[in-house]
């Protein structure tokens, strides 16, 4: 127990250290964007007809604290970020946590569901393809997983849209029907959401599934040839019982370990898929912030939150692994 809590403490501090490094990278990126928030505020006032001068911009900078040294501003930003407070958006001039709130959880939910769907498909399929000697099955699975690599999600989304527009005259886009877009959460809204969400989940899960099938397959075929499996077979264990009790359990831990990076891959595709399917969640806000309006505060907040959830998933998977596998516990603590 002591060993376990020591492990958790070490992992937690590592995770926080990673987050601090990430925040530094993200903050530096935000600083590098040409122009700053003060200029944007004042430019907005200018567009409303107010006459402005350099002095106004300077005053705005002081009000926003932009005249303070770089490291100090980073420190303030990170302390606020850990409390879930990212300040105001430069362009939309709204509180970011308010702006993002529900949208971010919606995106995270979409991504996690895709990840889950990917593994629900990949684990049985991967195990079957690793154990069966059927050439046709193996080769077709291989082709599917190659296609998963070659056909990136956004091209898949485009193809689905093309197909559905030509066949059904409906492009299947959006996350909510018109009447539910700004409604309160209710049973009907949830149902409406699920009716729309299957497509982004399928598209986001597409290449993740291909990757996962390959991983599961490779791990299983590595484990199946090992001596302990033969030994178990000699003891008379066979069939599904053999697979589930021995090689599958061993193959599972690297998979749990890589969940964080799978999530990373799904996040990668999220903004572009969101753009194509006109989803209204964090991914499309990110594109909006970066491509259209250079809103560095908002973009930084989104990237930080995405990365934060990956770090959190990595932390959680490590804890789960440590609970199930004593070797992992010992590996860090020594």
- Contact between residue 289 and residue 302 where contact means Cβ atoms under 8 Å apart: yes
CA–CA dist 191, 5 (Å, integer): 42
Smallest gap from Cβ 295 to another protein, in A, equals: 10
Among 16, 25, 79, 323, binds another protein (CB under 8 A): 25
Measured distance CA(206)–CA(213) in Å, rounded:
11
Q: Print the binding letters for residues 269-308 with another protein: x by CB under 8 A, - otherwise.
A: x-xx--xx---------xx--xx--x----x--xx--xx-
Told to check if 209 binds another protein by CB under 8 A, we report no
Q: Give the C-alpha separation, 318 to 325, whole Å.
A: 10
Query: How many residues sit close enough to another protein to count as binding (CB under 8 A)?
Result: 49
Instruction: Give CA–CA dist 212/114, Å, rounded.
Output: 12
Would you call 315 helix, strand, or coil by DSSP?
A: helix
Q: Which residues contact 309 (CB under 8 A, 6 or more apart)?
A: 108, 263
Residue showing tokens 């949830």? 190
Q: How far is CA 323 from the centre of its chain?
A: 24
Write each residue from 167 to 186 as x if it is in contact with another protein (CB under 8 A), else as -, in one continuous string: ----x---------------
Binding to another protein (CB under 8 A) within 129-168 occurs at 146-147, 149-152, 154-155, 158-159, 161-162, 165-166
Element (H, E) at 215: helix 187-224
Cβ neighbors of 2 (< 8 A, separation 6 or more) are none
**Least distance between another protein and beta carbon 228 (Å):** 18
In the bound state with another protein, the residue whose beta carbon lies nearer, of 128 and 157, is 157
Stretch that binds another protein, among 59-67, 92-100, 194-202, 266-274 (CB under 8 A): 266-274
In the complex, the residues that contact another protein under the rule CB under 8 A are: 17-18, 21-22, 25-26, 29, 32-34, 146-147, 149-152, 154-155, 158-159, 161-162, 165-166, 171, 221, 260-261, 264, 267-269, 271-272, 275-276, 286-287, 290-291, 294, 299, 302-303, 306-307, 310-311, 314
């Amino acid at each position: 127990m002591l060993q376990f809590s020591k492990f958790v403490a070490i992992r937690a501090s590592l995770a926080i250290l990673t987050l601090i490094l990430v925040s530094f990278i993200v903050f530096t990126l935000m600083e590098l964007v040409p122009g700053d928030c003060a200029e944007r505020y004042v430019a907005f006032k200018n567009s409303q007809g107010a006459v402005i001068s350099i002095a106004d911009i300077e005053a705005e900078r002081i009000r926003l604290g932009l005249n303070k040294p770089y490291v100090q501003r980073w420190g303030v930003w990170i302390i606020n970020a850990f409390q879930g407070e990212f300040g105001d958006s430069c362009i939309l001039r709204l509180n970011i946590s308010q702006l993002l709130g529900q949208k971010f959880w919606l995106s995270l939910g979409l991504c996690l569901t895709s990840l889950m769907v990917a593994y629900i498909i990949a684990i049985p399929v991967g195990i079957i393809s690793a154990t069966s000697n059927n050439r046709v099955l193996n080769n077709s699975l291989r082709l599917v997983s190659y296609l998963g690599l070659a056909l990136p999600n956004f091209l898949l989304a485009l193809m689905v849209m093309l197909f559905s527009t030509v066949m059904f005259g409906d492009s299947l886009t959006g996350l909510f029907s018109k009447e539910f877009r700004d409604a309160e959460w209710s049973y009907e809204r949830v149902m409406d959401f699920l009716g729309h969400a299957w497509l982004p989940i399928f598209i986001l899960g597409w290449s993740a599934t291909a990757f996962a099938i390959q991983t599961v397959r490779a791990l299983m075929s590595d484990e199946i040839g090992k001596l302990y499996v033969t030994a178990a077979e000699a003891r008379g264990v066979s069939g599904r019982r053999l697979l589930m009790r021995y090689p599958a359990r061993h193959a599972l831990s690297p998979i749990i370990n890589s969940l964080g990076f799978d999530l990373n891959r799904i996040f990668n595709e999220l903004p572009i898929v969101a753009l194509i399917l006109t989803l209204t969640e964090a991914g499309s806000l990110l594109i909006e912030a970066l491509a259209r309006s250079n809103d560095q505060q908002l973009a930084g907040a989104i990237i930080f939150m995405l990365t934060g959830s990956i770090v959190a998933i990595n932390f959680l998977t490590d804890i789960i692994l440590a609970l199930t596998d004593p070797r992992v516990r010992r590996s860090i603590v020594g």
